Structure 1
Amino acid sequence: MIRFLAALCLCVASLASAASAQDRTIQDVLSEHAEVIVKSSRKTIAPAIDALANSGLPAAQSVLQQWQEKNMWFVEDEGVFYYGEEVDRSTYNLYDFEDGALVGAYDKGDLKQLKPNSGIRAMIGAALVQFQLNDPDPIRRREALLAIQRDGEASHLAPLRASIEGESDPDIRALKETTERLLTISYGEDEASRVAAIEGFRGALSLDARAALNPVMATRIVLAEGLPDNANVKGDVKAGSEALPMERAYEMLVEAGSVTPMPTLDERKAALEANIVDGAVVGIPVSELDTQEARDRAYAALAEAGMVPAFDPDMTVEKAVSGAEFVEVYREPSSAVTNAAEETLKSINRAVSINQTMDLMLDGLSLASIYFLAAIGLAITFGVMGVINMAHGEFIMMGAYTGYVVQQIVPDYTVSIILAIPLAFAVTFAAGVAMERLIIRWLYSRPLETLLATFGVSIALQQIAKNIFGTQARPLTSPAWLDGALVFNDVVAISYIRIAIFVLALVFLGVFLFIMKKTRLGLETRAVTQNPRMAASMGINPDRVNMLTFGLGSGIAGVAGVAIGLYAKVTSELGSDYIVQSFMTVVVGGVGNIWGTLLGAGLIGFLQKGIEWLNPSNTLAAQTYMIVFIIIFIQFRPKGIIALKGRAAGD
């Protein structure tokens, strides 16, 4: 019976305690710690913050946020805390933390605003982590994780681990697990967990992983003498090396008390002056101290008498340092942790190198597609017809300006680009036909005169563009769906505009091959290229073929201008930036051969990107080296990678 009554009393007490806990409000927690909260001392505030964070009350997050933002007010007469909103300079509306209801308007003189300093705000921020990591809004959870990665603390580790199990979003869960490993590296409780966290980043490309591992590998140089047996030593360091200059080694010996510092010249001079008695220093007249040797003898006499610190004229920094041993010691005491970090960093560096190579290949492929698109028209006019058209770059410029004009008329960027491509082809096709009829047709087989004439046309077209559009760069805006980049990882990425240019280059490669292999114009062009006289005897009009071929090459240059203008500013000098590379592409690939042009563009694009990677600070030097390489290349293969037979080859 007694046992039954005792159990009944215990049950009633437990129920009463549970009921009391359920009735507990956020104001009760604040009231219990009101004194330390109002005082706001960093030394005493921790229990109050912990009590709020661990209260389990829904309003706890709101209290901590308002407190951190300096928007918590204490009504001294009532002993109650609220958050406020300014009505005017002297009046505030206060609201309840539980339900956000308006409590009333209060005079500012009756309130005390809680203004936590930066240290307390940091403590509140750490307490808020557990709420932010479990916030219903996935955006806030992600923001909290990124904030922890930027400025994580040991206090974040426990709530972060607790939040992983209940995370429903797989991407955020993966981010939480990554963040947990990053924090464990720096703040893990035991060696095994830290090693496991470090090894979890093997082969990773994350910048955050490298940022977390680099401090683990931090070292300092110390004297080997007196070093503890369990010190985590990286290796010996020689005094006088780049890592440890001789002067720094001497300073370390002095700081350790292993070497007595020699007095400097000024200190010795001051000591002599301080010990002048009746015009002499230790019996040596001042008039005899006119040489450094005499002053050193006088100072030695003072030192022997114990009046000044000892001085050895033969002592040098090198002699003082000789025989001393120095070592490089990890700041991290655990050798298992540093060994794991070293191996992981090696694997990361290997992965980064591989991905940098892939990124370089993508850049080279992208640049090659741009050069191919710019040179494909020149491959027709120069390669097939043998015309050195120095105005080819200006046809590219005309195409870019055509795209700009279309965008001024059609505001929808997608529609305007779709319209600009055929319109640019038509404009530059017409310009090319006009140029061929008026100038080029009279200069066939006269390459020098053709070069000079087209160079003059180039200058004239640039000036016309300046007169119409001005010297200011004009934007050719890409559609929204071309914004951004295709990101493979932290190292490898390529912009959507470059992908679009690559696709466009492939499309024009297919179109060109179709025209040359499957159409009458292509058949006639190939016939005129191989033997114009025989083609004429078969009923083909060489003049008409030359005109259409030149117009086709010019039209393709105009389309290339639209594509290039999407990522480069449209100016009157736009074409001159690509004319040299276009000629090099055609010449290196093989004059008059589309596959040669493709290979030439690839060679020049990859070569330029490779040289820029070796010398990233000087793009002009990269272009110079590239031209030198091509000159050497042409010496050994003057007809290019794929030589053309027929008229263009000089047969």
Structure 2
Amino acid sequence: MRLLIALAFLLLPLPALAQDGPMQTLLQTHSADLAKPSRRTIQPVLDDLAASGLPQMTGFLESWADKGVVQRDADGLFFYGTREGDVYALRSVEDGSEAGEVGRRDATELKPNAGVRKLIATALVQFQLSDPDPDRRRAALDALSRNPTPDLLAPLRASIEGEENRAIRARKEALDRLISIRFGTDPAVRIAAIDWMASQVSLEARAALNAVLTTQTVVGATDADANIARALKVGTDLTEAQALELLADAGIVPEDVTRADRDAALIAAIEGGAVAGQPVTSLNTEAARWSAYEVLVAAGAAPARPPLDAVATLLDANPIVEVYDEPDPAITTAAAAALAEVENRVARAQAADLGLDALSLASIYFLAAIGLAITFGVMGVINMAHGEFIMIGAYTGYVVQQIVPDYTISLIIALPLAFVVAAAAGVALERLVIRHLAHRPLETLLATFGISVALQQIFKNIFGTQAVPLTSPDWLAGAWTLNDVVGISYIRIAIFILAAIFLATLVYILRRTRLGLEVRAVTQNPGMAASLGIDPDRVGMVTFALGSGIAGVAGVAIGLYAQVTSEMGAGYIVQSFMTVVVGGVGSVFGTLAGAGLIGGLQKGIEWLNPSNTLAAQTYMILFIILFIQVRPRGIVAQKGRFAQ
């Protein structure tokens, strides 16, 4: 007796206590149906499970659909089971805790078929739509948008009421309307949902409206209540060959006489070496054979060819029309009007997106060209090595990131350091080369071009020929998205802000400081400025350092989204010179206007011809050549002797 009591104490309470809970209790009430489910019997079980509201139910349904649930044969309890060789490692369906092991032959794995898994997925979405985790709710909405069904419309609407996340709530409301359009039974509700779609530009909205407006081509008579979209006309909507193909598919074709049929009739009519009175030897052309055949037709010895207007006659008798799959004309009319409005909104959104791209590109060109505009305007130097200062700044940022792994801190260090390093390189170039070639533009151009090639080779020897990464911080990752059409990356927004900061700083320096006064004086009349005690050489050196330093900062900004290579500066030198020349030499606002014009022009040409970027560059250069013919001094022309 004592031994029996001890065994009962050891064996019975532990599994019972371990599995005692509302989840297991509910599952045990449907034990037989869960073990052997079918599409006919499982729906009431799923409804009961969904009505329970138990938080553990989501995990159970997911595991059940993935064949991760087992039933222990000894007591019929359900567990999450992971097979490890010949045993299952068990976990509790109540809290996921470990519940021991069981032999593979002592447990039954629940294996729902495809039809049952589909019903489970439907029930699972109901739980996921109200899951406390926002990510799970978003995942449920993504799944629902990919495979919407009318069964999920009611749980979707039920989950909207308690949704506190504004973005998720808006997504649920949009999906409610999308599903209502496709599967709704009330025409008024469907039309209301269609009218709401007219204010959207999302891909889902356009797909839903296009789904309502799907058609099929019908040849011949249609039902009296058919919702006809349009009648197809030969020559406008389809070719005659396409019309004949449709007529043939419908079994309505003119009985034409082929050349084989003609030749067979002519051979059968040969008598005495002639056909219908014409010698066989004369029937050596197509025209002669058809002429002889027409004689046979007139004699009733061969079938007549169809008249020339046979196809037109058949089309008049059997019109080809497109019929909406949606039978309700009110719904298709509303959908067509909504789709037209959506397309107009998309066109406006595309124009806005193109404008943002152009503004972003203009910011990049402004940063790359503003330093060149200052040096070119003050010193009149055509510096072909200006692009290499951009490269120096980008590599400075790369080196800083190798030392400081935190991308935010390294970026904060790299921006001023790139300015200093590039400015020092600019001063060295001005002191060692450019000063000795003053007022000799051709020699200066050739010398700076040679220095450009030399710098590229030096950096190639140091850093290699492969591109090196200049990684942006996490807070610059991603993009600012307004809708499915309009969006811009955070890096480009940061470059725009950086360009605005430099614009404001340069305007302040040039308008409010003594250095700016001296720069403007030297730019407009260097001789008169020298007579007033201003050292043009010193001003030129400082200006060259400032322009080169700005190019270095531009290199860091450009390197965050473009490849950092020894040739990267060469890709911006042409655009920089075009920006300076078009905007006006030596003018900050002129450079800004030139960058805006060139950036907008390039994006516009690329939009018109997106498959050929080389053509965009060519057209842009041609436009600039014509522009310079009209305004040779640029948009903002310089004043004073320098302009002359």
TM (norm. structure 1) is: 0.84
**Aligned residue identity for 1:230:** D
Of 101, 126, 130, the match for 1:134: 130
Distance 1:481 1:378 in 2: 31
**Mean Cα displacement is larger for which, 634-643 or 117-126?**
117-126
Post-superposition offset of 1:330: 1.0
Aligned residue runs from structure 1 range 198-597, under 5 A: 198-223=194-219, 225-239=220-234, 241=236, 243-259=237-253, 313-314=305-306, 318=311, 321-323=314-316, 324-597=318-591
**AA of the residue aligned to 1:192:** A
Match of 2:68 among 68, 71, 90: 71
CA contact (8 A) 1:367 1:605 kept: yes
SS in structure 2 opposite 1:397?
helix
2-side partners of 1:172 and 1:131: how far apart?
15
Check if 1:116 corresponds to 2:117.
no
Kept in 1: contact 2:352–2:486 (CA 8 A): yes
The size of the alignment, in residue pairs, is 604
By how many angstroms is 1:49 displaced? 2.8
CA deviation map 1:207-231 (0-9, x unaligned)? 11111111111112212x4311211
In the other structure, the counterpart of 1:17 is: none
Whether the aligned pair in 1 keeps the contact of 2:23 and 2:94 (CA below 8 Å) is no
Matched AA of 2:190: R
Over 3 Å counting, the alpha-carbon distance change for 1:283 and 1:72 in structure 2 is: farther
Give, as a single letter, the amino acid of the residue that structure 2 aligns with 1:545.
V
Q: Give the 3 Å change call, closer, same or farther, for CA 187–542 of structure 1 in structure 2.
A: same
Give the SS at the match of 1:648: coil
Identity percentage over the alignment? 56
Match of 2:32 in 1: 31
Q: State the 1:255 CA deviation.
A: 4.4
Cα deviation, 1:488-541, whole Å, max 9, x if unaligned, reads: 222222222112211211221222223223333322222222332332222222
* Residue pair 1:29, 1:51 contacting (<8 A) in 2 also: yes
Per the TM alignment, residue 183 of structure 1 is displaced from its structure 2 partner at its CA by 0.5
1:203 alignment partner, SS class? coil
Q: Does 1:615 align with 2:609?
A: yes
Q: Distance in 2 between matches of 1:117 and 1:443?
A: 85
Q: Deviation at 1:627?
A: 0.8
For 1:405 and 1:32, locate their aligned partners in 2 and report how far apart those are by CA, in whole Å.
66
Name 1:7's counterpart in structure 2.
none
Q: CA deviation at 1:265?
A: 7.2
In the alignment, the residues of structure 2 paired with residue 111 and residue 504 of structure 1 have an alpha-carbon distance, to the nearest angstrom, of 66
Unaligned stretches of 5+ in structure 2?
A: 1-21
Structure 1: segments with no counterpart, 5+ residues: 1-20, 273-279
Contact 1:72 1:81 (C-alpha < 8 Å) held by counterparts: no
**1:380 Cα deviation after fit:** 1.3
**Partners of 2:470 and 2:68 in 1: how far apart?**
48
Between 1:496-505 and 1:624-633, the stretch displaced more is 496-505
Structure 1 pair 228/365, CA: closer, same or farther in 2 (3 Å)? same
Q: Secondary structure at the match of 1:644?
A: coil
- Structure 1 counterpart of 2:174, which letter? T
Q: CA deviation at 1:173?
A: 2.4
Moved more, 152-161 or 574-583: 152-161
1:170 is matched with: 166
Which letter does structure 2 place at the counterpart of 1:221? T
Write out per-residue CA displacement over residues 290-327 of structure 1, whole angstroms, 9 at most, x where no aligned residue. Answer: 99969x98xx99xx99xxxx975447883674433111
Go from structure 1 to structure 2 and tell me whether the alpha carbon gap of 1:465 and 1:180 turns closer, same or farther (over 3 Å shift).
same
Change (3 A) 1:597 1:260: closer
Q: Distance in 2 between matches of 1:149 and 1:383?
A: 58
1-structure distance, mates of 2:441, 2:455 = 21
Contact residue 524 and residue 638 of structure 2 kept, 8 A: no
Query: Which amino acid in the other structure matches residue 417 of structure 2?
Result: L
CA distance in 1, matches of 2:48, 2:597: 65
How many angstroms apart in 2 are the aligned matches of 1:354 and 1:380? 38
Name the counterpart of 2:14: none
- Equivalent residue for 1:644? 638
Name the CA distance, whole Å, in 1 between partners of 2:150 and 2:260.
51
